[in-house]
Amino acid sequence: MNNNLYLSIVIPAYNEEKRLGLTLQEMHRYFDKKQYTYEVIVINDGSYDKTEEEALQSSIFKSGNLKIFRNNVNKGKGFSVKKGIMASKGDYVLFSDADLSTPIGEVEKLFSALNEKYDIAIGSRSIKGAQIEVHQPFYREYMGKFFNKLVRVFVLKGIIDTQCGFKLFKGKIARDIAVRMRIDSFAFDVEMLYLAKLSGCRIKEVPITWINSPQSRVDPIKDSLKMFFDVLSIKKTANKNYKL
pLDDT per position as a tens digit, 173-218: 999 999 999 999 878 999 999 999 988 999 999 999 988 776 655 6
Average pLDDT over residues 72-91: 97
Residue 157 — pLDDT band, cuts 50, 70, 90? Answer: confident
pTM exceeding the 0.85 threshold for the entire prediction: yes
The pLDDT confidence band at residue 118, using thresholds 50, 70 and 90, is very high
Burial group, residue 17, by CB count within 10 angstroms (0-12, 13-18, 19+)? middle
Mean pLDDT of all residues in 92-100 = 96
Instruction: Find out whether 67 and 137 touch, Cβ atoms under 8 Å.
Output: no
Does residue 22 carry a pLDDT above 90?
A: yes
Q: Would you list the domain boundaries of the chain?
A: 7-242
Across 133-151, average pLDDT: 63
Candidates 94, 183, 82, 101; CA nearest to 140 is 101
Q: Which alpha helices (H) appear in the chain, and where do they start and end?
A: 20-31, 51-56, 59-62, 77-87, 107-115, 138-154, 171-178, 188-198, 222-237
Q: Residue 3: its pLDDT value, please? A: 55
Look at residue 242 in the predicted model and tell me its pLDDT: 52
Q: First vs last Cα of the chain: how many Å apart?
A: 18
Topology of the domain covering 7-242: Spore Coat Polysaccharide Biosynthesis Protein SpsA; Chain A (3.90.550)
